[in-house]
Amino acid sequence: MNWITNYVRPRINSMFGRREVPENLWIKCPETGAMVFHTDLEENKWVIPSSGYHMKMPARARLADLFDKGQYEDLPQPKVAQDPLKFRDSKKYADRLKENRAKTGQEDTIIAGVGTLEGLKLVAVVQEFRFMGGSLGMAAGEAIIQAFDRALKDHCPLVIFPASGGARMQEGVLSLMQMPRVTVMIELMREAGLPYIVVLTNPTTGGVSASYAMLGDLHIAEPGAEIGFAGRRVIEQTIREQLPDGFQTAEYLLDHGMVDMVVKRHDIPETLARLLKIMTGAPPTASPMLEAPKHKEAIADETPHETLDKDQAPTPQG
């Protein structure tokens, strides 16, 4: 009996039993409900092919997509005090940090890199929303400041991709202090005459939208991105009015002058390169489909010469 139970039945179940399918094998479009194979979604830069809905893009993938050939130099992660307030809600803050580090493979929500975009050197900063909702804490604030320091040192532009629910409540006022610190660095960039561009992704809310996310020289937003300070429900309960459809979306903010342009994710690297070259005075990259116009001398050299008799030579006009 043990032989049947321990050997035969498991073998039969393995041959005909139901196989477990990974939960993330198929991803559901939040807009249409369509199911997309995860590798197809990844190849399409986390944009649903059928609907164009922009899913959240991992921070590492965004940096690799931005820089030339996906190559860049990682900026070091700053070391700051862990759990300075000894905060605890349903679990310890230190335990939450461990869980999110294991889930994302990052020390905190911010990663930054230095590389080139169409040959133009720049510093890029990305917030990883999967790490505690991209919340801004001491480590994140210090990482952003060090990225600004590198941009000032190398005298190059800085582009930031915020994705955050706001300040990190587990660090209280220490989290809020990161907003004015980053604002000071933005002013230093302006004094140095260096471009600072913000690419608003879904979502950009809370204290992040109230500070450095809305202080750029230019503001680009991805389609459908939620951008605002307080949530829609909180605002409606406060003012006791119904908000218009599409409120706090990138398209709504574009119509009301809060965003300079809405750009699809596939076009962001090219758009950033074009804008940064205009802002820095760098020469534009020639399109491979177009040839540079030739000088008159070159055209004349290529024109076949014909031998003219003296009688056929043109008479000079007086």
Residue position matching structure tokens 């002013």:
187
Confidence (pTM):
0.82
pLDDT: is 306 or 151 the higher one? 151
Q: For residue 124, give the 3-state DSSP assignment.
A: strand
> Token digits for 265?
């994710």
pLDDT band at 23 (very low <50, low <70, confident <90, very high): low
Is a pLDDT exceeding 60 seen at residue 305? no
How, if at all, do strands 35-37 and 110-117 pair?
A: unpaired
The DSSP symbol for 214 reads G
pLDDT band at 288 (very low <50, low <70, confident <90, very high): very low
**What DSSP element (H or E) covers 278?**
helix 268-280
Return the pLDDT at 296.
Answer: 47
The whole-number average pLDDT for the span 79-83 is: 88
pLDDT: is 149 or 81 the higher one? 149
Return the pLDDT at 284.
Answer: 80
Return the pLDDT at 302.
Answer: 47
The whole-number average pLDDT for the span 167-180 is: 94
Q: For residue 221, give the 3-state DSSP assignment.
A: strand
pLDDT band at 5 (very low <50, low <70, confident <90, very high): low
Interatomic CA distance for residues 220 and 195, integer angstroms: 13
pLDDT band at 47 (very low <50, low <70, confident <90, very high): very high
Interatomic CA distance for residues 275 and 281, integer angstroms: 10
Return the pLDDT at 225.
Answer: 97
pLDDT band at 25 (very low <50, low <70, confident <90, very high): confident
* Helices and strands per DSSP (H, E), number in the chain: 13, 9
Decide: 221 and 263 in contact? Cβ < 8 Å. Answer: yes
Is a pLDDT exceeding 60 seen at residue 92? yes
**What DSSP element (H or E) covers 168?**
none
